[in-house]
A and B are shown apart, each in its own frame.
Chain A
Amino acid sequence: MTRRRRLRSLFAALAIAALPLSGPASADTTLLNVSYDPTRELYKAIDAAFAADWKAKTGETVTIEQSHGGSGAQARAVIDGLPADVVTLGLEADIDAIADKTKKIPADWKKRLPNDSAPYTSTIVFLVRKGNPKGIKDWDDLVKPGVQVVTANPKTSGGARWNYLAAWGYANAKFGGDQAKVKDFVTNLYRNVPVLDSGARGSTTTFAQRGIGDVLIAWENEAFLALNELGADKFAMVVPSISIKAVPPVAVVDGNVDERGTRKVAEAYLQFLYSDAGQKIIARSFYRPANPKAADPADLQRFPSLQLVSIDDPEFGGWAKVQPMHFADGGVFDQIYRPSN
Chain B
Amino acid sequence: MSDATLSTTSFVAARPPRVTTEAFWVRAIMIGITLVFLSVFVLLPLATVFVEALRGGISAYFSALAERETFLAIELTLLVAATSVPANLVFGLAASWAIAKFEFRGKSFLITLIDLPFSVSPVTSGLIYVILFGAQGYFGHFLKSAGVQIIFAVPGIVLATMFVTFPFVARELIPIMQEQGKRDEEAALSLGASGLRTFFRVTLPNVKWALLYGVLLCNARAMGEFGAVSVVSGHIRGHTNTMPLQVEILYNDYNYAGAFAVASLLALLALITLGLKSLLEWRFAGELAANRRH
A67 & B234 in contact (Cβ 8 Å cutoff) = yes
A13 to B215, CA, bound (A): 14
Q: Specify which of B82, B208, B215 lies most central, judged by the most chain A CB atoms within 10 Å of its CB.
A: B82
Select from chain A the residue with minimum beta-carbon distance to B68.
A63
Q: Take A2-B208, A20-B75 as given contacts and tell me if A80 and B237 are in contact as well, using a CB distance cutoff of 8 Å.
A: no
Report the stretch among B4-12, B52-60, B144-152 that lies at the interface.
Answer: B144-152
Interface string of B192-205 (1 = CB under 8 A from A): 00000000100010
A210 within 8 A of B: no
The A/B interface has a contact count, at CB < 8 Å, of 65
A240 within 8 A of B: no
Q: Smallest Cβ distance from A44 to chain B, in angstroms? A: 9
A65 & B239 in contact (Cβ 8 Å cutoff) = yes
A3 within 8 A of B: yes
Q: Smallest Cβ distance from A195 to chain B, in angstroms? A: 16
Interface string of B56-85 (1 = CB under 8 A from A): 000000000000000010010011011000
Q: Take A14-B82, A17-B75, A65-B239 as given contacts and tell me if A80 and B208 are in contact as well, using a CB distance cutoff of 8 Å.
A: no
Q: Choose among A19, A40, A77 the residue that contacts B152 (Cβ–Cβ < 8 A).
A: A77
A80 & B238 in contact (Cβ 8 Å cutoff) = no
List, in ascending order, chain A residues with CB within 8 A of B252's CB. 201-202, 205
List, in ascending order, chain A residues with CB within 8 A of B151's CB. 80-81
A122 within 8 A of B: no
A27 within 8 A of B: no
A-B contact pairs, 17 of them (CB 8 A): A2-B212, A3-B200, A6-B215, A16-B75, A17-B79, A20-B72, A41-B253, A65-B237, A65-B238, A66-B236, A66-B238, A80-B136, A81-B144, A81-B149, A82-B234, A201-B252, A202-B252
A89 to B235, CA, bound (A): 16
Q: Take A3-B204, A20-B72, A81-B144 as given contacts and tell me if A13 and B82 are in contact as well, using a CB distance cutoff of 8 Å.
A: yes
List, in ascending order, chain B residues with CB within 8 A of A6's CB. 212, 215
List, in ascending order, chain B residues with CB within 8 A of A81's CB. 134-135, 144, 149, 151-152
A32 to B234, CA, bound (A): 12
A77 & B234 in contact (Cβ 8 Å cutoff) = yes
Select from chain A the residue with minimum beta-carbon distance to B71.
A20
Q: Which residues of A contact B (CB under 8 A)?
A: 2-3, 6, 10, 13-14, 16-17, 19-20, 32, 40-41, 63, 65-69, 77, 79-83, 201-202, 205, 229-230
A82 & B236 in contact (Cβ 8 Å cutoff) = yes
A69 to B248, CA, bound (A): 13
Q: What is the number of residues of chain B that contact chain A, defined by CB distance less than 8 Å?
A: 28
Q: Assuming A66-B236, A83-B149, what are 12 further A-B pairs, CB within 8 angstroms? A: A6-B212, A10-B86, A13-B78, A16-B78, A17-B75, A17-B79, A65-B236, A77-B234, A80-B136, A82-B152, A82-B236, A201-B252
Q: Choose among A14, A63, A66, A229 the residue that contacts B254 (Cβ–Cβ < 8 A).
A: A229
Select from chain A the residue with minimum beta-carbon distance to B235.
A67
Q: Choose among A3, A13, A67 the residue that contacts B236 (Cβ–Cβ < 8 A).
A: A67
Interface string of B231-258 (1 = CB under 8 A from A): 0001111110000000000001110000
Q: Smallest Cβ distance from B220 to chain A, in angstroms? A: 14
Select from chain B the residue with minimum beta-carbon distance to A3.
B204
Closest 3 CB pairs of A and B: A80-B135, A17-B79, A13-B82
List, in ascending order, chain B residues with CB within 8 A of A66's CB. 236-238
A67 & B135 in contact (Cβ 8 Å cutoff) = no
List, in ascending order, chain A residues with CB within 8 A of B200's CB. 3
Q: Smallest Cβ distance from A64 to chain B, in angstroms? A: 9
List, in ascending order, chain A residues with CB within 8 A of B208's CB. 2-3
List, in ascending order, chain B residues with CB within 8 A of A69's CB. 235
Select from chain A the residue with minimum beta-carbon distance to B72.
A20
- Chain B 76-127 interface residues, beta-carbon cutoff 8 Å to A: 78-79, 81-82, 86
A201 to B249, CA, bound (A): 11
A17 & B236 in contact (Cβ 8 Å cutoff) = no
Q: Take A66-B237, A205-B252 as given contacts and tell me if A80 and B152 are in contact as well, using a CB distance cutoff of 8 Å.
A: yes
- Chain B 150-169 interface residues, beta-carbon cutoff 8 Å to A: 151-152
Q: Take A80-B151, A205-B252 as given contacts and tell me if A17 and B82 are in contact as well, using a CB distance cutoff of 8 Å.
A: yes
A10 to B239, CA, bound (A): 23
Q: Choose among B86, B134, B253 the residue that contacts A40 (Cβ–Cβ < 8 A).
A: B253
B152 & A17 in contact (Cβ 8 Å cutoff) = no
List, in ascending order, chain A residues with CB within 8 A of B152's CB. 77, 80-83
Q: Smallest Cβ distance from B65 to chain A, in angstroms? A: 16
List, in ascending order, chain A residues with CB within 8 A of B81's CB. 13
- Chain B 40-59 interface residues, beta-carbon cutoff 8 Å to A: none
A58 to B253, CA, bound (A): 32
A14 to B80, CA, bound (A): 10
Q: Smallest Cβ distance from B203 to chain A, in angstroms? A: 11
